[in-house]
Structure 1
Amino acid sequence: MLNKVLLSTDVTLVCVQHALSTEKEEIMGLLIGEVHENGSLVSIVSSVILRRLDKKPDRVEISEEQLVQATLRAEELAAEVGRPLRVVGWYHSHPHITVWPSHVDLATQSMYQRMDASFVGIIFAAFLTDQSTKAPSIQITCFQSVTDGSTQSRREIEMEVVNNNDSLMTNNFEILTQLPAILKEEEDEAYQNEVGHSETDDIIIKQHNAAVRTIAIGHIVEKMSRPMLEALVARNALNAVRLKALKKQHQELMSRLENMSCNV
C-alpha cells in the first residue's frame, strides 16, 4: 500500500506554474518517477504537461494517446539516467475552489489504480486567499481513491517536497520553458475550431475571434513568459555571484594546499 510520496522541487515548480496559467479552467499533466519499497513509497522526478483537448472549468480528461506518449517519454528518461522510471501519477488544478478531489477525480483515480496500485493523484488548488493573512495562497493535496461498494472516498497520502535530482534538472527546466508554447497551441486550436465551425462572413465575428486569440496570447506572454524570463535572468545573476564566490574559495584552498606542501 502506498504510504508516502516524494515530490521534486523542480516538478513542484512546473506544476504550480501550470496551475497558475489559467483561473478559468482546470489544467492537467502526468507525473514520472520510481516506485520503491514494494509500492509503499513513490518518488516523482519529472512531469509531462498535457495539452487540453477540451477546456472545462470543473474537470480534465487524459486521452489514451497522451498516456501512451507519457509512457514513451518515461522510457526515454529511464534510458538516459539508468533508472526504472515510469508514469506514477497525474496532477491537475482546482482554480478558486477547494483542494479536495471531486467525485469525478476519485473515479478517474480509481481507474488508474486498477492498472497500478501505486498510482497517485495530486491536486493544486490555485487562486485562493488565506483567510488569516488575506494573501494569495496555493494548497496541495496528494491522494488515492478508496472504493467501498459503489461509493468512493479519498485517502490522503503523505507528501514531502524534496531537493532536485541533478541528473534530471535540465529535463525539468526544458519542461518549464515548454509551458508557454503548449498554452499557445491550445489557444491556436481553439481559434481554428471556432473559425472552422463558423460559416458566417460577418467581419465583426471574424474580428472578434481574432481579438480573443490575441488577448489570450498576450495573457500568456504577460503572465507566463515575461515572469519566467525575469526569474531566469535573476537566477542567472545569482549563479554568477555564487560562481565568483566558489572560484575565490577554490583559490584560497589551493593556496593553503601549496603552503602545506612547502612546509612538508
Structure 2
Amino acid sequence: MTINCKGNLIDLTQPKVMGILNLTPDSFYDGGKYTDPDSIIFQVEKMILEGADFIDVGAYSSRPNAQDISTDVELARILPVVERLLEEFPELLISIDTYRSRVAKECISLGAAMINDISAGKLDGKMIPTVAEHQVPYVMMHLKGTPKTMQRQTTYDDLIGDILYYFSERIAAARSLGINDIIVDPGFGFAKTLEQNYCLLQNLQFLKSFNLPILVGLSRKSMIYRLLDLDTDRALNGTTALNMVALLRGANILRVHDVKEAVECIKLTEALVLS
C-alpha cells in the first residue's frame, strides 16, 4: 500500500506519523503557539527529528464554533509558511489542511505534497478537480454539515453503514476524475457524539474494505479529555492509548500533536503484531 508524494513512493504498510502544525490563533489545543517564523521552524524541526513523516499545515480552525475566515486570510497565513518550510527543509512532505481548492492549488504550486480535506470535496466543488489536476495524495474525511453545524448533525440510521456509504460515494467521485492516491479519515470528533466516536474506533477495521490507507486523528480530542475529566494539556496518555487501538484496527497514518509518543506507539504495536 503506497502513495506517491512528489515522485517518492511512501509505503504505508508500515504506519506513518503526521505531525500537526496549526497556524491558527483558535485551534482547540495549540492555537496561537506557532505564529512567528522562529517558533514555526523550531516546532517543525522538532517534529522531524522525532520521526514525523509528514507535516500537516493548517491555517483555518475546524473546531466547533471556530471563527470563520476568508480565503484571503487563510492564504496570507499559510503561503509564507509553506514557502519558508520548504526553504529550510527541501525534502519535507507537507500536507495542507484545507477544504478550499484555491488554497490547495496555491500551496501545491509552492511544493506541498498532499491535501487533507475535512469535507472530502463537499464544501468546495472545485477541490476534487484541483487535486486530480495536480495528482497529489488526497485525504478525505467524513463530515456532516460544516464545522459550525456539525455538532447538531449527529443522527445516523446506522453510524458505520452511513460512513461506509459516504466514503463509497466520495471515493467514486475522486476516482472518476483520475485521483490515484486516496486516504480515508473517519473524522473523529466531527459530527459525532462521544459514544459514536468510540463505536467508530471499535469498528475502524470496516474501513479496510476500501483497500485504501486509513488516517486517524485522535490527538488530544474531547472524546479523550471529557471522558477522563481532564483538559487538553493532560490528554496525551489517553491519546497514546487510543492510537494503539487504532493501529491494531488498521490505521496507517496517525495525525498527532506529539510525534515522539506516536512513533513509540507504532514501534510497540509492530513488536506486538510480529511477536
Larger radius of gyration: 1
Interval containing the TM-score (normalised by the shorter chain): 0.3 to 0.5
Higher strand share: 1
Please give the TM-score of this superposition, normalised by the length of structure 2: 0.32
Higher helix share: 1
